[in-house]
Amino acid sequence: MRLIVFINGLILIFGGVLMAVVATVFGNESGVFLLTSALSITLGALLALASHCDFPDLQTRETFLLTATVWLTASAFGMFPLYMWGLSFTDAFFESMSAVTTTGSTVMSGLDTTAHDILLWRGILQWLGGVGFIVTGMALLPMLKVGGMQLFRTESSDQGEKELKSSTMFAAATFWAYLFLTLACMLVYSWGGMSVFDAIVHGLTTLSSGGFSNYDSSFGHFDSPFLQWSGTFFMGCAGIPFAWYIRAARKQDFRSEQVRVYLAVVAGATLLLTFWLSAFRGFDVMDALRLVAFNVVSAVTTTGYATTDYTTWGGLAAVAFFLLTASGGCTGSTAGGAKMMRWIILVRSLKIQINKIRYPHVIMPLKYEGKKVSDNVLDGVMSFFVFYIFTVAILAALLNMIGLDFSTAISGALTSVANVGPGVGNIIGPAGNFASLPDSAKWVLFFGMYVGRLEMLTVFVLLTRGFWREAV
């Protein structure tokens, strides 16, 4: 426990240093960052000094606890400036958790005139959350065997580590790939007409699949086809495993089943909805293609940007975006959702079960990337989907009991667990935000964002009596 407290103390110190940097760059424009920086550094230093000792190696139980507490600590230091700036405690914590988990749901309005340091802080939190989830998804969750993630470890991470000699070098290569794509996105946005500040913030929130914008109208503020196509491209890049970039760069090996399925889902949904808008809603084909491609990629990668209120496109579009919200990007990317790897395994498992009904004596092994999937991995994937559906259903029921209408409750629950951002409807849809929801609903969604980013099982294992009995 001392090691867990010590690491969380270091995270608070790191957050305080970031606040000091933001205050230095913008001259403490909002008037809060110097104070919150001192608060975060002091609190972190006290925790680190009080818990410092000769630390043992982390065991599986401690790794679960560390993974779960780190995200709460990051949300805590993230909310300090927002609370001191003027948001209520609930709104500040909600906004910070939404940023750190790269969900993109916001309770803030009047963003067009908000202080620049506050806007940059939101972007920084999302970018760091993207880095954190890459590390969690590629290192911790496979080690903990959460949701069948050990299959991804076998597929990508181990190969990359062998090529780069060590896991440290592989992590460094992953970080540089993430940073390179972020800088490239910033440069393209700036070249396309964004101000330097807008390019920086939107670059941070695009590659992190976060979706926080500097404007109430989100990415729709930029009425530029070039910028919207650029955003589509870089959001799409964020949904691809970063291990895939390393393998492609080092070995020119572009093979990946989940990348192929990911691109096929995006292309299929884009073509279907483009046909729908042009044939039945009177849109010009090229305008429809641009609008659909941007919003489909934003939904699949769980970025949450919007250029228009796609809920006005008709029933087919509403259903399509609801389903795309649950699909998610690839495992090992910054995207949320259930992930393409799991969907592939689920569909193939269902296909095998149907064939076994027809041919009871036929042996049909489940394969992924040409290799047999073990029963442990399959059990993990199935458990993930059960907890995923269970969590969304319980949260939707709670939101409905609080007083939200059915469509707002179910879409709010799904968008929080999938870490997407906007939901469906007039209240939390692409044209609205979460400010008008009661505080109790915001805390329910807060929990949904938290467990969704940590893929449910990492958090729920902490709620079992056996976990704490072993810890005593």
**Between these two residues, 248 and 91, which has the higher pLDDT value?**
91
Q: How far apart are CA 381 and CA 17, in angstroms?
A: 39
pLDDT at residue 472, rounded to an integer: 46
pLDDT at residue 144, rounded to an integer: 66
Query: How many domains are contained in the chain?
Result: 2
Same domain for 300 and 225: yes
> 95 exposed, middle or buried (CB, 10 Å; 0-12, 13-18, 19+)?
buried
Q: Is the pLDDT of residue 153 over 80?
A: no
Same domain for 252 and 163: yes
Q: How far apart are CA 277 and CA 421, in angstroms?
A: 24
Q: Is 409 left (phi over 0), alpha (psi -120 to 50) or beta?
A: alpha
Positive or negative torsion for Cα 173, 174, 175, 176: positive
Same domain for 314 and 165: yes
Q: Is the pLDDT of residue 350 over 50?
A: yes
Same domain for 58 and 100: no
Contact, 410 vs 318, CB < 8 A? no
Over the stretch 315-347, which tens digit does the pLDDT of each residue have? 888 888 888 888 888 988 889 888 899 999 999
Which residue(s) pair with 367 in the sheet? 372
Share of the chain above pLDDT 70, in %: 92
Domain end marker among 60, 86, 112: 86
Same domain for 333 and 295: yes
pLDDT at residue 160, rounded to an integer: 46
Contact, 173 vs 246, CB < 8 A? yes
pLDDT at residue 337, rounded to an integer: 86
Domain end marker among 55, 86, 117: 86
Nearest to 220 by CA among 151, 150, 294, 123: 294
Q: Is the pLDDT of residue 405 over 80?
A: yes
Contact, 199 vs 208, CB < 8 A? no
Helix (H) or strand (E) holding 367: strand 367-368
**Between these two residues, 229 and 429, which has the higher pLDDT value?**
229
Same domain for 107 and 15: no
pTM of structure: 0.90
Q: How far apart are CA 26 and CA 8, in angstroms?
A: 27
Q: Which domain holds residue 22?
A: 1-86
Residue type at 285 in one-letter notation: V
Tokens 């949300």 belong to 75
Nearest to 98 by CA among 455, 457, 462, 447: 447
Share of the chain above pLDDT 90, in %: 49
Domain end marker among 86, 111, 142: 86
Same domain for 104 and 236: yes
pLDDT at residue 378, rounded to an integer: 87
Same domain for 203 and 101: yes
Same domain for 414 and 364: yes
pLDDT at residue 171, rounded to an integer: 74
Same domain for 10 and 122: no
pLDDT at residue 468, rounded to an integer: 74
pLDDT at residue 158, rounded to an integer: 45
Over the stretch 422-439, which tens digit does the pLDDT of each residue have? 877 778 877 778 999 999
Over the stretch 370-386, which tens digit does the pLDDT of each residue have? 888 888 888 888 888 99
pLDDT at residue 471, rounded to an integer: 52
Same domain for 246 and 171: yes
Same domain for 96 and 66: no
Tokens 């990911």 belong to 262
Mean pLDDT over 89-106 rounds to 93
Q: How far apart are CA 235 and CA 15, in angstroms?
A: 26
Helix (H) or strand (E) holding 372: strand 371-372
Contact, 458 vs 423, CB < 8 A? no
Q: How far apart are CA 451 and CA 304, in angstroms?
A: 18
